[in-house]
Structure 1
């Protein structure tokens, strides 16, 4: 099988979600470290616009968003499963809540003044300003962000709810980790490991801390460093995998072969433009050409993304 290449950086919470997924499935992978703020020319060579972290590359196929990446890893290595029955639907719904509502409450708490001071204690004023400008540029106009005071209330409540779920089981939905655990873990991991100055909020839910210890033991699998230039060259020398024979689901009045754009709904609004080559129940695929990466297929999940005709 073609190698798995994860484009990420160490402090990225969503990258930690995928690193744990790789560890859970005991998969070997190549690690390409990318910048945490723009410019990201090597990322754009592969995606054409999308620059959220992480992304997964398999040859000339580029998978965006951790929800889709987890599906790809599940297909690659079905056991142990991230989507156990009969809780498969519940796991996906809980994961979507954790990746959005829980994540943004945790980040608002993490980036309060004490947290920011710790995160940027070695950064210059220019570097701090550049990070703030970068994240502002990725946000939708009018995007609601919790104040630290409101985030404290929400985060404490969410932690208690997670604790309640762990009263009589080692993981959120049973005896083994699933997609819900990976999604709930990564924002808490950021609090605990990246901003310990504000991690005392976790002390009120010891069951959650015990669960986090179990999650951390999963590890990240076997990774090998890789240069971005080599990953791009690999894409250029590869052919996108044949698309699965799935039913075309036309919800937008855009036929296959149309030139379209895809962008996230609320955060990371940069558009990827290309030719629509697949639109199934679960995902959207664009074919695009790049001077460095050649012909690539860029894949997005349906949920959380906006598909439009290119202008």
Structure 2
């Protein structure tokens, strides 16, 4: 199998989710550091427009969104599983809650008050303004928490996580599942990136202990790589997906072979354009050509993404 290439940056919480899963599965991977804000021309050469972080590249296959990346890594290294039976349905439901409801409450809290001062302590004022404008553009389809509402929700959610950890080391049992990784990364951001706001974690010591256990997993074996090398890998490769489901599920009246766009429903609405070559129960795939990357297949999860026919 081709190398695992993760396009990410150090402070990205969703990247931390994937870095930790790579560590849990004891995988070796190559690290391409991408810009925190737009423009991201090297990433766009692979994705066609999608710019959320992280993105996983394997040869000429490009996997977008951590929900789908988790499925790919499970295929690459089935053990230890992040979807252990018999609770994989519940694990996925809790993970989806962690990646959405919990995450946005946490980030609303983290970016309030002293949190912003932590984030930009060593940065010029224009850096804070640039990030704010970038994230505003990515959030045009979202309703965001006000700081007080975010704080109240976050504290309640931490209590719920604490209740889940009453008599077990991990949220759903004796071992980590995808639910743990999806609920961890927003709290990691509170603890590591906005330490002035991290006092909220002291009220749930079971959660703090769980955070320590999760952090101890580590990130696997990482090797530095650069964007030009990653694009060259794509150009020299033939797409060959690791996604196993292939049955066409037509919910839009859009046949395979149609030129379409795919975009996130909410955060990060920038569309990717290409030829629809898969629309299954779980994912979409676009075939697209780039002057530098050659022919690539770009994969998206079905949940959370919109499919539209490209009108002439």
Do 2:51 and 2:270's aligned partners in 1 also have CA atoms closer than 8 Å?
yes
Structure 2 Cα separation of the partners of residues 121 and 144 of structure 1: 28
Which secondary structure does the structure 2 equivalent of 1:197 belong to? helix
Question: For the Cα contact (< 8 Å) 2:158–2:204, is it kept in 1?
Answer: yes
Residue in 2 that maps onto 1:279 = 279
SS of aligned partner of 1:273: strand
Structure 1 SS opposite 2:103: helix
Give the whole-Å Cα distance in 1 for the aligned partners of 2:268 and 2:147: 22
Map of 1:168 onto structure 2 = 167
* Structure 1: tracts of 5 or more residues without a match: none
Is contact 2:55–2:65 with CA below 8 Å preserved after alignment? Answer: yes
Q: 1:97-147: CA deviations, max 9, x gaps?
A: 010000000000000021001101112121111111100111134x21111
Q: Give the distance between the partners of 1:102 and 1:267, measured in 2 at CA.
A: 15
Q: Distance in 2 between matches of 1:295 and 1:74?
A: 25
What is the SS of the residue equivalent to 2:45?
A: helix
Residue 214 of structure 1 pairs with residue 213 of structure 2: yes
Q: Distance in 2 between matches of 1:136 and 1:147?
A: 14
Matches of 2:237 and 2:139, distance apart in 1? 34
Match of 1:151 in 2: 150
- How far the C-alpha of 1:86 sits from its partner, in A, is 1.1
Match of 1:62 in 2: 62
Q: Is 1:270 equivalent to 2:284 in the alignment?
A: no
Counting only pairs closer than 5 Å after superposition, residues 40-189 of structure 1 correspond to structure 2 as 40-141=40-141, 143-189=142-188
Write out the 4+ residue segments of structure 1 that deviate beyond 3 Å after TM superposition: 242-245
SS in 1 for 2:37: coil
Task: Could you tell me which runs of 5 or more consecutive residues in structure 2 were left unpaired when the two chains were aligned.
Answer: none
Task: Name the residue aligned to 2:225.
Answer: 226
What TM-score do the two structures reach when normalised by structure 1?
0.98
C-alpha distance in 2 between matches for 1:83 and 1:232: 31
Q: What displacement does 1:67 show?
A: 0.2
Q: Matched residues in 2 for 1:257 and 1:145: separation? A: 37
| Between 205-214 and 117-126, the greater mean CA deviation after superposition | 117-126
* Distance (whole Å) between structure 2 residues aligned to residue 124 and residue 244 of structure 1: 47
Supply the distance in 2 between the matched residues of 1:120 and 1:309 (Cα, whole angstroms).
Answer: 41
User: Which residue of the partner structure matches residue 301 of structure 2?
Assistant: 301
Find the residue that maps to 2:70 and give its secondary structure: helix
Most deviating of 123-132 and 68-77: 123-132
How many residues are treated as equivalent by the alignment?
310
- Name the CA distance, whole Å, in 1 between partners of 2:126 and 2:246: 49
**TM-score normalised per structure 2:** 0.98
- Is the contact between residue 245 and residue 280 of structure 2 (CA under 8 Å) also seen in structure 1? no
**Counterparts of 2:202 and 2:88 in 1: how far apart (Å)?**
30
Instruction: State how far apart, in whole Å, the 1-side matches of 2:188 and 2:130 are.
Output: 24
